[in-house]
Structure 1
Amino acid sequence: MALLHRADLRPTKLELLASWLPSRSWYQGDSAAELVRVAAYRFDDPAGEVGIETLLVRFGTGPVHQVPLTYRGAPLPAADAWLIGTLEHSVLGTRWVYDACADPVYAAALADAVLTGSGQAEEYFEVDGRPEVRAPSMDITSDGAGADVPAVGAVRRVVDGDRTVIVTDTVELTLARRPGLTGSQPTGPAGATLTGTWDGVSAPLAYATLR
């Protein structure tokens, strides 16, 4: 379960992304339009130290972009190139926000979701000492349910692009930056694809694959 805090964020996640996204080679759209959140899903960090959230966002009526983020209480070593920015969280203090593709905690969580079908973390707020569950904004599933998950160590290399490739010690993950658009969909062996839907999208879109 992912514990969420009712907190103020300065700047907000969308404010950080509004200035960062247009600088990416795989970005498409009108950066003068308003950036809106379409949907999101989270994974758990078993150690409970790193927040892992994937946002689906778009500028105006432009294409949806998939942006996995990790939130850390201290900088991730040797990852300055992947730092989106910092924000002040009214409960947790300063948070370093990274494009999660270079974060080994995200790579391990994504590999687990793709290979086992573990799905997304259940989100909840603590209200009067009891968990109040927040309904998910989208559904994700995998056709790799039941597979063994190798230990994912360091992220050795990231090839950023429409289909971002994350190379680790044991697995190679491919992430669709613009789910549903021709040329940006990841491809991989049968039984190793993460797909999902949200309101207004009836046919599952491929988000990530693993080999």
Structure 2
Amino acid sequence: MSGIAKIYDAVLNPTKEQIAGTFGGFVELLGSYRLVDPDDEVGIEVLIGTDLDGRIVQLPLTYRGAELDPEHTLTELEHNILGHRWVSNALGDPVAVTQLIRTILTGDDGAKFSDGTPPALDIIGSGDRAGAQVSEVRLSESTRQRAVGTVRVDDRVRGFRLHMPRVPLSPRTTGQERTTARLNLTGSLPSLPAKKHVVAELHWRDL
């Protein structure tokens, strides 16, 4: 398990619905899934909702008490418990990228919510390297849907490309035009556990 995410009964300005609508094109916010920063400094959350066409869409975010990089800042918000927060594109935040790669590689699932509510998607990584140590993420390129850089996995530094599509797709098998990467993160709605959505794909790159 990716830990337990602390959920506050908080008042936010702007609200997550407003953030999702402005930056993700959401018509309806269904909820989110989360990962946990081991240092408890960065909130890692992927908002899940639907767009005008009724498709499932996602918006990966991080929340920090200080700005990480203006290039990746989406907005600022007031949290009535935690105070002023900076909201960033998660794929431009090394802490979030580290936890996404770790979850994929180790075959981990998403964080549980401290208030007992279920996540909007139940996620699971496809990897089998339980216990792998993932650290030292260095980003050379980041967009809303892609992060490129290097990462240390145990004692080896590897190049990577992490893709998180705005509209998660169904897994694609051999014989289709494009197959899903072997290392991936899939999620399913609690109401439809058999229907999988590929929310992230990890590719290794030569250094």
Q: Name the SS of the counterpart of 1:120 in structure 2.
A: coil
Identity of aligned residues (%): 32
- CA shift for structure 1 position 138: 2.4
Superimposed CA distance per residue, residues 109-135 of structure 1 (whole angstroms, 9 cap, x where no aligned partner): 00011000221111114xxxxxxx333
- CA shift for structure 1 position 16: 2.0
Partner of 1:107: 97
Q: Name the SS of the counterpart of 1:208 in structure 2.
A: strand
| 5+ residue gaps, structure 2 | 152-159, 173-177
Partner of 2:196: 204
Partner of 2:67: 75
Partner of 1:156: 140
Q: 167, 173, 181: which is aligned to 1:178?
A: 167
Q: Name the SS of the counterpart of 1:14 in structure 2.
A: helix
- TM-score normalised by the chain length of structure 2: 0.79
Q: Which moved more, 1:85-94 or 1:194-203?
A: 194-203
Report the Cα distance in structure 1 between the residues aligned to 2:136 and 2:33, rounded to whole angstroms: 21
Partner of 1:36: 28
Q: 42, 55, 58: which is aligned to 2:47?
A: 55
| Change in 2 beyond 3 A, CA 1:86/1:186 | farther
CA contact (8 A) 1:17 1:84 kept: no
The amino acid of 1:167's aligned partner reads V
- TM-score normalised by the chain length of structure 1: 0.78
Report the Cα distance in structure 2 between the residues aligned to 1:75 and 1:157, rounded to whole angstroms: 18
Partner of 1:117: 107
Report the Cα distance in structure 1 between the residues aligned to 2:38 and 2:74, rounded to whole angstroms: 23
| 5+ residue gaps, structure 1 | 23-33, 126-132
| Change in 2 beyond 3 A, CA 1:166/1:123 | same
Report the Cα distance in structure 2 between the residues aligned to 1:58 and 1:35, rounded to whole angstroms: 6
Q: Which moved more, 1:135-144 or 1:110-119?
A: 135-144
Report the Cα distance in structure 2 between the residues aligned to 1:7 and 1:165, rounded to whole angstroms: 30
RMSD: 2.3
Report the Cα distance in structure 1 between the residues aligned to 2:198 and 2:166, rounded to whole angstroms: 10
